[in-house]
Amino acid sequence: MKQQNPDDPTHTPASPRLPAVVPRSAPPYFHILAKPTGAACNLNCAYCFFLSKEEFYPGSRFRMADDLLETYIRQYIEAQRTGRVTIAWQGGEPTLMGLDFFVRSVEYARKYARPGMQVEYSIQTNGTLLDDDWCAFFHEHRFLVGLSIDGPRPLHDAYRVDKGGRPTFDRVLAAARLLQKHRVDFNVLATVHAVNADHPLDVYRFMRDDLGARWVQFIPSVERVNADGRTLVQAGRAVTERSVRPEQWGRFLIAVFDEWVQHDVGRMYLPLFEGMLAAWLGGSAGLCIFDETCGNALAVEHNGDVYSCDHFVEPDYLLGNIRDQHLITLVAGEQQRQFGRAKRDSLPPYCRACPAYFVCHGECPKNRFLDTPDGDPGLNYLCAGYRAFFAHIDRPMKMMAQLYSAGRSPAEIMRLFLPGTVRPEALFATTGRNDPCPCGSGRKFKHCHGASRGRIGGS
């Protein structure tokens, strides 16, 4: 599909209106990551999958025009058919737009929000440009700020450097302190790569104890090497040496999980672990990567181009431009619906037969570039790690799910993991079938954890 010329002065400022009849295929709610500076960033993180996307817009200034900002906010709000909308900014580095841009974004959101509509804001930033004015603004408008930091100094600085190759740890730490001073809600987004993946507890404890973060998200770094040796698009079976290895990812998750389940349930919020509990309770993990289908998490570029997903900002996944078509038309269109269904329809039989299928669903399509042991294409690169992780958490997840189902707090599981106590597995091994269950449910063991002998996820 043809790329737009982002700075074409003859480009129409037309602003398509909401169709009189919303397409039936339109989801009631969807999420968009807006990239007002495109891939432009003041840092040069070695593993960044987005920096090279500048190549798709040669000659661009990488700044979202003000009329396009208003068009985007209006269309995005019009397209949501729920009473709540989250306007999410990302990059590149979105703060390069300057604070006034975001002040105007809030004004436009107020202008177009329907009566009673709840508008929330989030921004993902490397933090290096934040100051008191930014943080006061975030506090006033209750932005949820995602701060990218990969762990303590040597682990963070391994790849997160500026354009001059200088480390950035001190600047990011200063940003975290500023956010705390202004009482801004922030979560930490840590990329797990070949270097920090071998230090899971150093990373996690740094976030919790030194940084004082309460929301932590871990993202595995998987950089596919294209045929020309670059990492521009999602193609190729080799990965860079910076990428986390599958078993390493599994060990990382397991180590952090063990720490969390012993000390931090209900105190530290990790979307991955919260999602696991939801899945073990029979619902959705609430993360697109673990859903059966996807397609409701898109990306909009600085010039209004809309792509199927933040991870697929490349020509084959360009849906159109919001200057030409209303956002709802692009989101509901067959190209995007097909993109979402393909996540399910392309899954190899090996995954469908997997005991962890109910929670994993083959994870994100961008990582599915291995062959299964049966020779089918489409196995997830991270599969070995996920399999180990899902098997490891099965027992504690069942316990937490049972606590929850009994109207109790899943955090009670920590009693069973207190330092110096017998591990639950050992405790269960010595509990009689008719004894009270050691989890404290009040039920007989055979009707509680003694009954859990099924497959992963079975109760």
Say if residue 308 is exposed, middle or buried (CB neighbours under 10 Å; 0-12, 13-18, 19+). Answer: buried
Q: Is 310 a catalytic residue?
A: yes
For residue 113, the 8-state DSSP code is: P
Among 197, 327, 356, 413, binds ligand SF4 (CB under 6 A): 356
Residue 195 C-alpha from the chain's centroid:
20
Q: What angle do CA 225, 295, 335 make, to 5 degrees?
A: 85
The residue count for binding ligand SF4 (CB under 6 A) is: 22
- Rounded Cα gap, residues 306 and 314, in angstroms: 10
308 versus 321: smaller Cβ distance to ligand SF4? 308
Q: Which stretch binds ligand SF4 (CB under 6 A): 14-22, 321-329, 343-351, 423-431?
A: 343-351
Q: Which stretch binds ligand SF4 (CB under 6 A): 57-65, 244-252, 363-371, 416-424?
A: 363-371
**Residue 309 binds ligand SF4 (CB under 6 A):** yes
Say if residue 334 is exposed, middle or buried (CB neighbours under 10 Å; 0-12, 13-18, 19+). Answer: exposed
Among 184, 216, 328, 360, binds ligand SF4 (CB under 6 A): 360
222 versus 294: smaller Cβ distance to ligand SF4? 294
**Residue 35 binds ligand SF4 (CB under 6 A):** no
In DSSP terms, 288 is beta-bridged to none
Find the binding residues for ligand SF4 in span 85-104 (CB under 6 A).
none
Among 275, 304, 365, 396, binds ligand SF4 (CB under 6 A): 365
Would you tell me how many other CB atoms lie within 10 Å of the CB of residue 63? 19
**Residue 456 binds ligand SF4 (CB under 6 A):** no
Is omega for the bond preceding 378 within 30 degrees of 0, making it cis?
Answer: no
Among 29, 112, 215, 357, binds ligand SF4 (CB under 6 A): 357
**Both tokens of residue 338?**
């097909």
CB 108 to ligand SF4: min, Å: 26
Q: Which stretch binds ligand SF4 (CB under 6 A): 124-132, 347-355, 393-401, 414-422?
A: 347-355
Q: For residue 284, what are the CA distances in angstroms to 215, 335, 409, 454?
A: 20, 24, 19, 20
362 versus 410: smaller Cβ distance to ligand SF4? 362
Among residues 310, 316, 324, 374, the one annotated as catalytic is 310
**Both tokens of residue 230?**
């670059």
Find the binding residues for ligand SF4 in span 259-288 (CB under 6 A).
288
Among 363, 370, 417, 438, binds ligand SF4 (CB under 6 A): 363
Q: For residue 223, what are the CA distances in angstroms to 229, 231, 240, 376?
A: 11, 6, 6, 22
Among 341, 366, 444, 446, binds ligand SF4 (CB under 6 A): 366
Location of structure tokens 């098997």: 391
Q: For residue 208, what are the CA distances in angstroms to 106, 151, 211, 228, 259?
A: 31, 10, 6, 41, 11
- Rounded Cα gap, residues 163 and 152, in angstroms: 21
Among 351, 399, 416, 456, binds ligand SF4 (CB under 6 A): 351
- Rounded Cα gap, residues 243 and 192, in angstroms: 8
244 versus 413: smaller Cβ distance to ligand SF4? 244
Do 74 and 107 meet the contact criterion of CB atoms below 8 Å apart? no
- With both helix axes pointing from N to C terminus, report the angle between 99-112 and 132-140 in degrees, rounded to the nearest 10: 10
151 versus 220: smaller Cβ distance to ligand SF4? 220
362 versus 438: smaller Cβ distance to ligand SF4? 362
Q: Which stretch binds ligand SF4 (CB under 6 A): 39-47, 132-140, 350-358, 424-432?
A: 350-358
**Residue 380 binds ligand SF4 (CB under 6 A):** yes
Among 364, 393, 403, 416, binds ligand SF4 (CB under 6 A): 364
Among 123, 289, 313, 399, binds ligand SF4 (CB under 6 A): 289
**Both tokens of residue 344?**
């399910």
**Both tokens of residue 34?**
């807006």
Is omega for the bond preceding 92 within 30 degrees of 0, making it cis?
Answer: yes
CB 311 to ligand SF4: min, Å: 5
Q: Which stretch binds ligand SF4 (CB under 6 A): 52-60, 193-201, 364-372, 449-457?
A: 364-372
- Rounded Cα gap, residues 345 and 327, in angstroms: 25
**Residue 157 binds ligand SF4 (CB under 6 A):** no
- Rounded Cα gap, residues 167 and 157, in angstroms: 5
Nearest to 319 by CA among 83, 104, 100, 30: 30
- Rounded Cα gap, residues 157 and 169, in angstroms: 6
Find the binding residues for ligand SF4 in span 381-410 (CB under 6 A).
383, 386-387
**Residue 350 binds ligand SF4 (CB under 6 A):** yes
What residues make contact with ligand SF4 under the rule CB under 6 A?
288-289, 294, 297, 309, 311, 343, 350-351, 354, 356-357, 360, 362-366, 380, 383, 386-387
Which positions are catalytic? Answer: 310
